Amino acid sequence: MKLARARKRLYGAALCRMPFRSHSAPRLILASASPRRRELLAGLGVPFEVMPAAVAEHEAPDADPREMVRHNAALKAEWVALRCPEAFVLGADTTVFIDQLVLNKPRDLAEAKTMLRRLSGRTHNVYTGLAVRRQCARLALDTGVASEVTFRPLDDATIERYLAVVNPLDKAGAYAIQEGTDLIIASWRGSFSNIVGLPIEETKQILTQCGLC
């Protein structure tokens, strides 16, 4: 499988800059710079550190979204785990899927508007992949979550109003369900936190398997 082979091409391992102290509880590291994931994970009450993974994510628009997010989540977790082998590392990746196309982060405002027009008045899927790695124990846990979101019909004026209050450029599908909700969202089904970027129930379950929750 192409994605599986690509994930093996990790950068050379380096020593973790934050040394592990064997007398303390095992560390949890979030391999993401997303402030939304950081806030959601903090809600579980589990101490963690943040170390964004410097990897090139797979973002082909015609990719299988379920496979793509699981691949990217594992890629991030493995990159950090190689550098901090004693730590538990949590990786996550989220995307939007409609019309057999993956909608990742838009490159500019023009592409963001195009994405919002495509989503207007329709239902789409949101997929998140989760991965936990612990290099010293050869631990690898993976799961995926799906939710559905239905947009209100959006005219150009509404799209402009939405973009005036939300930065779409760091968000898959050019929107955040928790921001400007009344402007664009008609309804959703499934995990709300998954749509935000980190399905909290499933995250709690996978961290419980690690003895962290």
Active site residues: 93
* CA distance readout (Å), 21 to 18, 28, 106: 9, 13, 41
Q: Which structure tokens are listed for 83? A: 């550098």
DSSP 3-state of 122 = coil
Q: How far is the C-alpha of 206 from the C-alpha of 117, rounded, in Å?
A: 36
Q: How far is the C-alpha of 47 from the C-alpha of 94, rounded, in Å?
A: 23
Instruction: Tally Cβ neighbours within 10 Å of residue 57.
Output: 16
- Residue 183 DSSP one-character state: H
139 and 210 Cβ atoms separated by less than 8 Å? yes
